[in-house]
Structure 1
Amino acid sequence: MKTDVIPHNQIRAMYDADTIRVYQAYSDAIADSALAQGRLVSPPFKLERMTWIKPSFLWMMYRAGWGLKDEGQKRILAIDITREGFEWALAHSCPSHSPEGMSGEEYAALKQRCPVRVQWDPERDLHLQPLAHRAIQIGLSREAVRLYVNEWTCKITEMTALAHEVQALVQQGQLQKAASKLPMERAYPGQQAT
């Protein structure tokens, strides 16, 4: 039986023909206003800060500790954005760390030109332990944040209860049942960030 080997860096996400799902974790104030308005609202959301979106549910669970890590990350939101916007973000990105061989001045100039940062971190399993392949995080700043909030966002869904349910199943050792509850993420076609 052939098993598929996941490439080291591969965007995996829940998506359809028009949208792709990303995750963020927020405080009650930001989550409540976003759910009520169908988009992130400033204030309490801060447009002037870089905001990181994550297509991987389990990486978001790792980052937010299943929504139990702290008050600022207690609410898990699934944000469906346009694929066009997502691909714009990738096309206007640079690595979050200076590429090997690039001077500090060159990297500073690159960051000034690119409103989006891309970072690859180890994907996580149900125990939130690192896997061999990587999940993408995308940091939006400047015009990218405004586009995300005002043009790309199609739908916001609360995922906090699902996060707690999956965590409880993992703690009970019911890994198969926990895995069956996870969002169905698959390789994202076409443009891949590096």
Structure 2
Amino acid sequence: MEEPQRRIRALHTASTITVYQAYSPEIGVPAVRRGRFPAAWKRDRMTWIKPSFLWMMYRCGWGTKAGQETVLAVEVARDGFEWALRNACLSSYVRELHSDRSTWQSGLKRAPARVQWDPERDLHLRPLPHRSLQLGLSGEAVRRYADEWTVSISDVTPLAREIRALVSSGDLDSAARLLPQERPYPAGDELMAHLRP
């Protein structure tokens, strides 16, 4: 079956969805220890969460990029994640979805969340023809994410390193078996119609 061009694929349960972020150890280590983001974590900037493990690996270079050495799996309440989607605006103007550019721009300024659809990645971190969701949170959404929606935070840096080593050695089957079991997230039109061209 052909993969849809834009779809949320994620590790999820009946009540949670797992998203990924990467930080310096100064933020990542205390976040894992406390299960909450520490005071050093900036609430006044946009924070991007990614349901795709491999897209996060592409972004942080398997946890090797400066300031992104600690890869976090953040389990988030689905009702919070879906609140963010309902209140999100696409980060770029799409003629089929927006009545005009100025309406989109004013919506983007007001929205506490924004959505980008970026190419999904394979185990070699090469782009695939279909896209994955990146969800940017700001203002009220950042506060809710940190204080209400976060269920748990775990360090998946060792997993990233193990998968990367297997890919480097050419053992793609073993690497694929270690990947989080991401499946289509049940997001219907009422949640996604304003975010999918």
Question: TM-score normalised by the shorter chain: which range applies?
Answer: over 0.9
**Residue 99 (structure 1) shift:** 2.4
Measured in 1, the distance between the counterparts of 2:142 and 2:135 equals 11
Q: Report Cα offsets for 1:1-58 as digits up to 9, x if no partner.
A: xxx211000000000001000000000111012112211122x100000000000000
Alignment of 1:15-94 (within 5 A): 15-42=12-39, 44-70=40-66, 72-94=67-89
Q: In the alignment, what sits opposite 1:153?
A: 150
SS at the partner of 1:67?
coil
Unaligned runs of 5+ in 2: none
Q: 1:96 and 2:74 equivalent? A: no
Aligned-residue offset at 1:123: 0.2
Number of equivalent positions: 189
Give runs of ≥4 in structure 1 deviating > 6 Å.
Answer: none
Query: Any idea what SS the aligned residue of 2:5 has?
Result: coil
- Report the 3-state secondary structure (helix = DSSP H, G, I; strand = E; otherwise coil) of the residue aligned with 2:85: helix
Give 1:97 deviation, angstroms.
1.1
Contact 2:29 2:70 in 1 (8 A): no
1:112 Cα shift?
2.5
Say whether the 8 Å CA contact 2:113–2:137 is kept in structure 1. Answer: yes
- The answer to whether residue 180 in structure 2 is matched with residue 183 in structure 1 is yes
Deviations 1:84-107 (A, max 9, x none): 001001000001112236554323
Q: Is the 8 A contact 2:85 2:113 kept in 1?
A: yes
Counterpart secondary structure, 1:107: helix
1:143 to 117, 120, 140: 140
Aligned with 2:165 (options 155, 168, 183): 168
2:62 partner SS: helix
Q: Determine what percentage of the aligned residue pairs are the same residue.
A: 52
DSSP-derived class of the 2:162 partner: helix
TM-score normalised over the length of structure 2: 0.92
